[in-house]
Amino acid sequence: MTKNPSYDHTIIPPCQAECPLHMDIREYVDLIAQGRVMEALQIIREGNPFPSICAYVCTHPCEDACRRGQVDNPIAIRALKKFAVKFGGDKMIRLEAETTHDEKVAIVGSGPAGLAAAYYLRKLGYPVSIFEAHSELGGMLRVGIPEYRLPREVLDIEVQRLIQMGAEIRTNSPVTSLNLLFDMKYKAIFVTVGAHQGLRLGIEGEESAGVVDGATFLREVNLGLKPPVGNRVGIVGGGNVAIDAARTSLRLGSREVKILYRRSREEMPADPNEIEQAIEEGVEILFLMAPIKIQSVNGQLDITCIRMEQEEPDASGRRRPAPVPGSEFHITLDDLITAIGQAPQVPKDFRLRIGRGSTIRVDPLTLTTNQKGIFAGGDAVTGPASVIQALATGKLAASRIDDYLRHRYPAISKEKRASMGDLLPRTIEMIRKFNRYEPPIRPSQERVKEFMPVELVYDWEGAVNEAKRCLHCGIGAEILSRDNCAACLTCLRICPYLAPFLDDRGEIQIAEDQCIACGICVTECPANAIAFRKPQEQRRVDEELEHVIESAAKSKSKPLIIGFCCQYGLYGTGALAGLWRETKAGIWIVPVLCIAKVESRHIVNAFKAGAEGVFIAGCDQQQCPRENTAFWTLQRMERSKKMLAQIGIEPERVQAFNLHASDKNLAEALDRFTQKIGELCLVSAFKKEMKK
């Protein structure tokens, strides 16, 4: 009855499925929960070309999909990434790329899509040149997003790394004709010029001085042009650009900033956090209101507004706003910023087919345009979208260009979809509730004075505790060996979350979408028929124990005490970190990912390897994010103690720490334990002598 160790039945979790880059979020969050932040960063870098940028500005569709949201609140994935980027030492990472191909690729536009395409093309070994009309790279990252959301230093570091990788940068180089690039021996071109043209309101007086569109306003601010803003500024629109413009105006010194939005707060497309922060800073949002006329009067703007009301939802479920007749009123402003959307502005000479909303038409799977060798992507194709989507497009473009240049039929990768259902109410009821822990933000009075980042980075404890909330979707338990399964129903009876069930044919199944990988059934299954979907989870304790035994054997330290210690939370990084340094005193730590995974066999094997004492230290039942872990661990421990006593090993040699939250001072309790072990050693040595 052996199992094939090479299986991997991991299910794509919703966070990963929803991430346009399909990053292995579950893995890096878990690493952060263990305090292994550098490894977490490594995973992040494998999936994302510019993690530090995403750490600040990602719209995190992963969090919207996160199933923890069904229990309390989603995991703060973006903030955790920011923590990993900062504490993992992302700044110090240098990248290199080798040129292995001759075909040069030109990238027109240096927004996130362009930069990502350059990054991945360099990794594929192509010479790459980036053409940027402005003086600095970044596109919307540079000219659109305000500095308090994305410090320029962060962007500069990523750009610098791209240069290290060998990308050629041509700033102040607006491209007017793509043919010219082909003439310059570029074999493929990726057009990613963004969507910078503000849409017009289409109302009377829009040309008045003091009326500006949001994209232009932000660009001017971001390029350091310091556009003058008055005390009273109005912004029209409800998206992120509107919020950015409002908060930027505050920072430039405006006293009264009003956002006019024609729908209600629920429909507002801007990030709810951003809206919240804007309100905190003093931005006033007037909902269900729209300007209908602008008049310039003595250097001031007289805006005629009208109240709106929401119609009944139409077929698409969207409620259209409609003006309330006779509800007009006036407000007086110094400036009005229109932020109701942007469109691409693609030079005619590019001769690309243009579709709805002035966007470039491409085949969405291959990003090919109507012209051979020309690919397009980013906001120029989709209209204004998120940074993470742009990065994903850039990555796709790189591989499609590679296919094209290598004369391969494009390998259409299947979309990674989550096959996980929602958590059932009874599962939700059993999952311990831990509220989302938000990273600290600077006080609003302080932050409106300057463009410093609003959100700060988690401290170590905050990040680890937040990461511990992850439900480990898709790596839970499965019945791996039907042949072994004795249908004993142990799993069904002991699962705190009621994930195992009997199907119509009376066979036991484990509902993969209800399992949160606590591991109790895996450890308790008397037939060894249940395994984690991710095999490493399974082998880890055995391997770590073996490793410790080997190292201890080399060091010949006596007496040998082996401790199975939970690596999650502060245990991994805090309290036990001290113990690691104690190895000289004979204490060796076997790190485990939750003590629920320690089996009786492991405890006994420690003694078999010559240990004089064994302890288990884990989070107490209040801190452990999973149910019943201490109960089962103690069950197994008592079982082992009983069996060990029968072969003459004193039960006092096995002890648990902190599982019941009683050992407030772990170090002290451990001292007492080691002292006890020392005494027991003496006694048994004495007995041996007597026997002789």
Q: Which residues bind another protein (CB under 8 A)?
A: 1, 483-484, 486-490, 493-494, 525-528, 599-601, 604-605, 607-610, 635, 643-644, 646-649
Which lies closer to another protein via its Cβ, residue 315 or residue 647? Answer: 647
Burial class of residue 70 (count of CB atoms within 10 Å of its CB; 0-12, 13-18, 19+): middle
Residue with tokens 């790190």: 591
Distance separating alpha carbons of residues 94 and 160, to the nearest angstrom = 9
Three-state secondary structure along 648-689? CCCHHHEEEECCCCCCCCHHHHHHHHHHHHHHHHHHHHHHHH
Distance separating alpha carbons of residues 196 and 191, to the nearest angstrom = 14
Residue 579 CA neighbour count, 13 Å, CB half = 30
Kindly state the smallest distance separating residue 608's Cβ from another protein, in Å.
Answer: 4
SS3 content of the chain, % helix, strand, coil (to 5): 40, 15, 45
| Strand duo 300-310 + 321-323: pairing | antiparallel
Structure token digits, residue 523:
């450890």
Residue with tokens 């910078």: 196
The four Cα atoms 340, 341, 346, 351 give a dihedral, to 10 degrees, of -100
Kindly state the smallest distance separating residue 602's Cβ from another protein, in Å.
Answer: 8
Structure token digits, residue 385:
């979208």
Beta strands in 53-177 (DSSP E): 104-108, 128-131, 168-170
Which lies closer to another protein via its Cβ, residue 55 or residue 518? Answer: 518
Which lies closer to another protein via its Cβ, residue 664 or residue 691? Answer: 691
Which lies closer to another protein via its Cβ, residue 486 or residue 502? Answer: 486
Which lies closer to another protein via its Cβ, residue 489 or residue 667? Answer: 489
> Alpha carbon 533 to chain centroid distance?
22
Which lies closer to another protein via its Cβ, residue 607 or residue 657? Answer: 607
Distance separating alpha carbons of residues 122 and 395, to the nearest angstrom = 11
Nearest to 81 by CA among 108, 106, 105, 50: 50
Structure token digits, residue 190:
């990726």
Which lies closer to another protein via its Cβ, residue 43 or residue 654? Answer: 654
Distance separating alpha carbons of residues 45 and 421, to the nearest angstrom = 29
Which lies closer to another protein via its Cβ, residue 223 or residue 645? Answer: 645
Which lies closer to another protein via its Cβ, residue 170 or residue 540? Answer: 540
Three-class DSSP category at 232: strand
For residue 111, CA distances in Å to 195, 270, 468, 642 come to 10, 20, 35, 66
Which lies closer to another protein via its Cβ, residue 289 or residue 545? Answer: 545
Which lies closer to another protein via its Cβ, residue 180 or residue 682? Answer: 682
Kindly state the smallest distance separating residue 188's Cβ from another protein, in Å.
Answer: 58
Kindly state the smallest distance separating residue 611's Cβ from another protein, in Å.
Answer: 9
User: Taking every pair of C-alpha atoms in the chain, what is the biggest distance, in angstroms?
Assistant: 111
Distance separating alpha carbons of residues 617 and 385, to the nearest angstrom = 48
Kindly state the smallest distance separating residue 527's Cβ from another protein, in Å.
Answer: 5
Which lies closer to another protein via its Cβ, residue 573 or residue 605? Answer: 605
Structure token digits, residue 472:
């480990």
Q: 588, 482 in Cβ contact below 8 A?
A: no
Kindly state the smallest distance separating residue 579's Cβ from another protein, in Å.
Answer: 24
* Amino acid letter for position 551: S
Kindly state the smallest distance separating residue 462's Cβ from another protein, in Å.
Answer: 37
For residue 674, CA distances in Å to 544, 574, 606 come to 22, 20, 16
Kindly state the smallest distance separating residue 495's Cβ from another protein, in Å.
Answer: 10
The sign of the torsion formed by the CA atoms of 179, 180, 184, 186 equals: negative
Kindly state the smallest distance separating residue 599's Cβ from another protein, in Å.
Answer: 8
Which lies closer to another protein via its Cβ, residue 427 or residue 628? Answer: 628
Which lies closer to another protein via its Cβ, residue 441 or residue 485? Answer: 485
Nearest to 24 by CA among 8, 42, 36: 42
Kindly state the smallest distance separating residue 392's Cβ from another protein, in Å.
Answer: 45
Distance separating alpha carbons of residues 633 and 44, to the nearest angstrom = 33
Distance separating alpha carbons of residues 250 and 227, to the nearest angstrom = 13
Kindly state the smallest distance separating residue 484's Cβ from another protein, in Å.
Answer: 7
Distance separating alpha carbons of residues 13 and 475, to the nearest angstrom = 9
Structure token digits, residue 345:
């502005």
Kindly state the smallest distance separating residue 528's Cβ from another protein, in Å.
Answer: 4
Cβ neighbours of 317 (radius 10 Å): 6
Residue 678 backbone zone (phi > 0: left; psi -120 to 50: alpha; other: beta): alpha
Kindly state the smallest distance separating residue 519's Cβ from another protein, in Å.
Answer: 14
Buried b (16+ CB within 10 A) or exposed e, 148-162: bbbebebbebbbebb
Structure token digits, residue 591:
């790190």
Kindly state the smallest distance separating residue 472's Cβ from another protein, in Å.
Answer: 23
Kindly state the smallest distance separating residue 424's Cβ from another protein, in Å.
Answer: 22
Which lies closer to another protein via its Cβ, residue 280 or residue 546? Answer: 546
Alpha-helical runs (H) found in 525-599: 535-555, 569-570, 577-580
Which lies closer to another protein via its Cβ, residue 244 or residue 599? Answer: 599
Kindly state the smallest distance separating residue 653's Cβ from another protein, in Å.
Answer: 11
